[in-house]
Amino acid sequence: MASLPTRQKLWGGRFTGNTDPLMHEFNQSLSYDRRMYDADIRGSKAYAKALTRVGILTHQEESSIIEGLEKVRKEWASEEGFKIQPDDEDIHTANERRLSELIGPTGGKLHTGRSRNDQVATDMRLWLLDEVSAIEDSLRGLIRVMVERADKEKNFLLPGYTHLQRGQPIRWAHLLLSHAFSFRYDLERLQQLIPRISVLPLGSGALAGNPFVVDREFLAKELGFLSVAENSMWGVGDRDFVVEFMMWASLTMTHMSRLSEDLIIYSTAEFGFVTLSDAYSTGSSIMPQKKNPDSLELLRGKSGRIFGNMAGFVMTLKGLPSTYNKDLQEDKEPLFDTVDNISKSLQIAEGVIATMKVHSDKMRQALTMDVLATDLAEYLVRKGVPFRETHHISGRAVALAESQKCQLNELTAEDFKKLHDRFSEDVVQVFDFERSVERRSAIGGPSMKTVERQIAVLREIVQ
């Protein structure tokens, strides 16, 4: 059996003319899909074994192919690198071309019954499963740092905000853990994606299945897939796993953006609750006094980029007819970019949280007595007055303090008694921030007991 000419493309038999050089460049994906070289080689090794099991390859040919593929893998991994040729279109054709150069005509047998359509879908799923595992570790690391920081700083009190207006006193740990719980459910959603990514397309052929009845369950076990694509047309044309991962990343980065926004605000001179480490800040080119939270601003900005990746690919996907179309080559760059940026974002966020300084004195200074207005209303509730009435009475007390240009706790017992006869001398007990926080001890509240419960829940999850 004669070997294929080096410059002949896998699909070239039908064509007699040369490809426009610009079209070749427009068509190629090796410049970015080369990062899947290891996944492609793993899939090819498994497929060689499957071909041996159905008699297409001899054991000697299988060994030759596997040894050759391992040499190709080492070339990609070496400093000298894999020598790319002008006609290499993608990682699959490049690897097969080099394999045939190394072992001769036997390399041409590897593609028997296999198409680039099922090959690329397999490679992408294998590659993404590896990346998801690393991302899961990074997400656990971020949650762990947030939890440990919350545990050390659970005595710090500050105002909780709604509409960016001071609302009620809370623990700093409670605020930090609120973001950690968003990431906790991101972790759960990521884990739920794995079975839908881990579906084997290999053996689906171009669209109509494999004519040599390769054992696809063997292939799945060999490559570590959890299940096999039951429909070959779906197997080669499905990219829902790409969309779903990018949707997951978009939501996770939305949570990252909200955390960043809080910390950006709290790091301003007007708040002064936190100071970012120099390692995660930059200065101004013109204003020497500036310390800019660029790390957090970039995290906030990356969320828009990652959402754009997802939205763009969904628009590519929505109008496609069945099975494989070349439009699907547009799946890789947004997926790769999303993986790269969310991986870095999680690590940067962990560094920011681990190294920032928290100023408990500034937080305490931001607590003013008006944040206890709800506690004042609740004081009367405990005296038997309906809350809708106590809310109004508490509001009048706030207005009275404002008119007298004093704090709520500076009103006299007589001032309160004029507002309602259920007020008594013990109203002074309301004006205690720690007491206010500790009263909120139902599950989910900011009391010491409930914050420690939150810490325990999250620690169990990230272990």
Q: Which residues are catalytic?
A: 163, 284
CA dist 367 and 103 (Å) reads: 75
CA dist 409 and 69 (Å) reads: 78
The sign one gets for the Cα dihedral 429, 432, 436, 438 is negative
CA dist 102 and 332 (Å) reads: 29
CA dist 150 and 240 (Å) reads: 37
CA dist 277 and 343 (Å) reads: 21
Q: Record the tokens describing residue 58, joined without a space.
A: 């001899």
Q: Record the tokens describing residue 223, joined without a space.
A: 């490559």
Angle at which helix 59-77 crosses helix 91-103, to 10 degrees, equals: 120
Selection from 51, 71, 46 nearest residue 61 by Cα: 51
154-191 burial, b at 16+ Cβ within 10 Å, e below that, comes to bebbbbbbeeeebebbbbbbbbbbbbbbbbbebbeebe
Which SS3 state, helix, strand or coil, does residue 389 take? helix
Q: What is the DSSP letter of 292?
A: B
- The radius of gyration of the chain from alpha carbons, rounded to an integer in Å, stands at 31
Distances (CA, A) of 51 to 61, 109, 123, 329: 10, 9, 18, 27
Helix count (H) and strand count (E) of the chain?
Answer: 18, 6
CA dist 190 and 255 (Å) reads: 14
CA dist 255 and 428 (Å) reads: 40
CA dist 396 and 373 (Å) reads: 10
Which SS3 state, helix, strand or coil, does residue 199 take? strand
Cα dihedral value 332, 334, 337, 339, nearest 10: -80
Distances (CA, A) of 213 to 56, 210, 343, 360: 11, 6, 39, 68
CA dist 177 and 171 (Å) reads: 10
